[in-house]
Homo-oligomer: A and B are copies of this chain.
């Protein structure tokens, strides 16, 4: 890996997401060598991925080059690689570019789509956990419309214009809303020779409410908003399979659809090599104590989505979202410094600042600890919170400009098919690879 051995202890952080970045920022310019490893050379602001998928934003405005973030930090090394194994007995990790020893190891690998073992769905459905995946969705949606134009068989045309989103969490709700906005504002203009009324957006939720985890009011209101936008909301319906053509469910309704987006579950992106019993198998997350130490280890930590800290209030661990990840990362950074100085560590306590989701133009729901509201004002709050959470001044400005433009013009301009998804697949393009 070509990283110098110095007298400073080495902290290795795997993953430059919310948790990894927050930890790295606490550890910079200390008497430590910090090595950050990520399989991408950028940090992804995942809450806005759905806008990349629906042509509202370009990737460069929601992603930030990791090297740039740290390019004035001493004793900091970034490596573009995938970590394949941890050997805690040797205090070393193995990666695609060689092995590396650590003094402290922070696993912040985040989460990945959970298909719950259904290989068909994994093969045929789209997912949206990374920038390339979001771009694939964008390409596929537009390619389907181009194909629908040519299709004279009515049933096939309908299948091309039938979108099924599985999972009524924030990702599913926001994506369904954004697609509905496209249906209203853009597609009828871009495809005047197509009957856009035939486009259907189905949001399928296995339980009885959307945005589980938010308030009843938010859940109810988001459903109202979606219905108003023309989304068909299916509750208490479970998707059983998808063969690339037909979505089968446990109800009477099956769906003939060329596009299925799977937003029904995530699981930790755990790394191989640690003891089996520190992993919660179903969730694929590492059990950690209140200092984010992986159980059974003194110098191996997990933070964010890949960590499961079981507390009285959060029996299944904290929600797999940005806030717990950032807070855990920050505290872990501080605790590692404290440990190195022989000071007392501080246990983690989640400060739930609330949650929010946007459904469409002027339509959002916000749950603050003491205040819940929905509608136009919620939408403004959502926008400003997301704008200020973006890393980088330029990103903030470009996103703000795009939002103003899109708002005034009822438009989403970045609808370019730059990497055709279907065509790539024809050439045996590997889905996982992108």
Contact = CB atoms under 8 A, between A and B. Distances in A.
Interface stretch (A109-117, A300-308, A424-432): A424-432
Contacts of A192: 71
A284 to B, nearest CB: 25
Contacts of A401: 397-398, 401
B68 A2 contact: no
Contacts of A392: 413
Contacts of A1: 150
Interface in A191-237: 191-193
B150 A98 contact: yes
A329 interface: no
B60 A416 contact: yes
A61 B68 CA distance: 22
Interface in A331-369: none
A262 interface: no
Given A1-B150, A150-B97, A418 B190 contact: no
A326 interface: no
Contact of A190 (B71, B149, B397, B419): B71
In the complex, the count of this chain's copies comes to 2
A421 B329 CA distance: 32
A433 interface: yes
Contact of A413 (B2, B60, B80, B402): B60
A77 interface: yes
Contacts of A430: 427
A248 B197 CA distance: 60
A40 interface: yes
Nearest to A131: B418
Given A41-B146, A67-B191, A394-B405, A2 B418 contact: no
Given A417-B40, A419-B132, A419-B419, A65 B190 contact: yes
A423 B433 CA distance: 8
B416 A63 contact: yes
B68 A415 contact: yes
A65 to B, nearest CB: 5
Nearest to A74: B192
Interface in A126-170: 131-132, 135, 142, 146, 149-152
Nearest to A430: B427
Contact of A2 (B98, B135, B152, B424): B152
A424 B416 contact: no
A286 interface: no
A174 interface: no
Given A71-B192, A192-B71, A413-B68, A132 B418 contact: yes
Interface in A45-85: 58-61, 63, 65, 67-68, 71-72, 77, 79-80
A42 interface: yes
A71 B427 CA distance: 32
Contact of A429 (B193, B409, B429): B429
Given A41-B416, A77-B193, A429-B429, 13 more contacts: A58-B59, A60-B414, A63-B418, A68-B189, A71-B189, A71-B192, A72-B189, A97-B150, A131-B416, A132-B418, A135-B418, A394-B402, A428-B428
Q: When A and B form their complex, which 5 residue pairs have the shortest distance between CB atoms, in order from nearest?
A: A60-B414, A67-B190, A71-B189, A42-B416, A80-B146
13 contacts: A2-B152, A40-B417, A41-B415, A63-B416, A68-B413, A72-B189, A77-B193, A97-B150, A98-B150, A135-B418, A424-B429, A424-B434, A428-B428
